[in-house]
Structure 1
Amino acid sequence: MSDTIDLDFLDESFAEMLSSEWPRERSVAHAQSGNLIAADLWSQMAGLGWTALNVPEEFGGLGLGIEATSRLHAALGAVSAPVPMLGTTMAAALIAHAGSDRQRKAWLPALADGSMRFGFAQPSGAQLTIENSSVSGIAADILDAPSATHFVLNGRREGKRSWIVLAADSPGLSVEVHPLNDTSRTLGSVNFSQVTLAEDAIISAPDCQRVVDLLEHWSCIALASDSLGIGEAVLNLTIEYLNVREQFGKVIGSFQALKHRVADHKTALVGAREFLAHVASLDPGDPAGLIEALSSKAHITRVAAEVARDCIQLHGGVGFTAEFQPHVFLKRAKLNEALYLTRNEALDRVADLLEAA
């Protein structure tokens, strides 16, 4: 459990490996490479057990829970790592919580060792109708779809909510890739043409809304964490630049106007880090915790995007060039704002939950 693990030690381990294996120049090069994911980085992460963080121990995982997983997502955001970790995190949470014993045994070990990479639909998104054990239609805007080996999609069978788990190479299934400005992630629509579903491909739960709430909690924490990593990294990068770039015979970091902008961003990020640390310590099954998780997603993704936007300005003209990293962070931060729930959608959910309480 997370309370037996030194989370600061995890932070150091994540940062040490990623700074070595995914330095800034690789992040910039990947943005121009056309590659979907960094397969070598994903393999190293799997070998170190990072893909097993929130998989229960009895299925080959580490069982460390949401706090440790939050730290990992922050570290990945800090280097704009092009790996499909969000879908894997979400799939592990769903299968561990709502999957049958047979489904857990079949899928969780492969999740833990990184051999299954998941594209995961928005938890509260549109549902595919399952008729006669088959499904047709389109699941739109699935994160990591082009690089996934499997998908978790929203379904409905006999009027009841369910989740569909399918291999990407299933007969009748195809993926349409959608271009993104954020080259560290991939997005696509999954098209179904009379795809036959085995009974084990469908996850059902007695209380489906509780599962949806759980998944929203996990997704909000993961995206808020990724954005926190982005904000802190791009600000540190900018401070380094301000301390070496000279104008009028002085480093521009000595100019008071720029100091004040950096101080404002630092203050916002310190508050965001404390907010996230609190929310990540809450039980994902707690309804009150969901309100705070939704709020953290709305707030922290906005903070990170604003910091990244201004850091491009603080770099001056070079901040807009492909050779410098700030644009990579900004594009990732803006996508985080929109993924799964936009800021307005998250705040609407908060209002609905407060009204229902």
Structure 2
Amino acid sequence: GMGAAKVRDLFKQANEKAPCIVFIDEIDTIGKKRDGGQYGGNDEREQTLNQLLTEMDGFDGSKGVVILAATNRPESLDPALLRPGRFDRRIPVELPDLQGRIDILKVHAQKIKLAGNVDFSAIARTAAGASGAELANIINEAALRAVRLGRSCATQEDLMESVEVVIAGYQKKNRVLSNKEKLTVSYHEVGHALVAALQSQSAPVQKITIIPRTSGALGYTMQVDEGEHYLMTKTEMENKIATLTGGRAAEKLIFHEITTGASNDIEQATKLARSMVSRFGMSSEFGMVAMETVQSQYLGGDASLTCSMETQTKIDKKVTEIIQTQYDKAMQLLQTNQPKLHEIAKYLYEHETITGEEFMQILNRPMIEQQ
């Protein structure tokens, strides 16, 4: 009976101290759905919840007590807790948009010394999908990098590098690749970048690098959208899958051999293709039918299939088909532009990191210049 007693005590104190705000964090620990009393009537958690429901009854504005609660699992809460008169207003705290990211970066940047020419919007664009905590970490990493390099203030370059640290991990200087592996990674990354650049409706390439990272990546291609993106068209999703298969296609085309380097690409491409079929109704075979439901969207959003075994087999076949079609498209694009693939991969092999501008310059250069 301790939980119920504590709830009574909490509300007693709140009424004495009114006007005040009562904030309950992680409300799902005591506010979970009641499960038909299968534990008997003396379940401790249920008593606590009942007491909370009772205390919240009859609340009105004149009492001067406001109750707020936070949870990552709103779908698991008891419906009685969410009815009008109790917690009747929901405020989802989503990941910040572009302007939100700029403002959050500015708040955290007040704590460190910055160079005068720092462009927050460029950093915010690069860090698409980052949470507030990750943005704070980006500023912190930039300050640490500036100190390590003996500078008195953090520059734009420090901030850009720290975005990569948060996304992909630190540069792993002690991991030395053999020349053959380094060449393979060069072609793999340029394969991604070329396929992305040669397709319309694809995010522009910002940077390509073949310096290994602590996350296990031996290199990566960074694409950054110009503005904020809330909807993805079917074409954009297909283009993204083609870009993901571009690395493996380049390996196959140049070395007639494939490596383990594409494991993450394969994972992402499969996830995208499966979502197209089972969640977004983008296949003519199934049309607008949801084949899977997403649970706890604020905690990673696990999806579970809600269809028969026969349909699952069909979905798997369709997913394989989508990825194969895009792989063939990527292969076709790379075959047509093979001289450029060689030229850019050679440049990347020598320089280890190239910017989006350098990449586009080489790509748009007429071939005669190399003679």
TM-score tier by shorter-chain length is under 0.3
Tell me the TM-score normalized by structure 2. 0.23
- Greater share of residues in strand: 1
Which has the bigger relative contact order, CA under 8 A and spacing at least 6?
1
Tell me the TM-score normalized by structure 1. 0.24
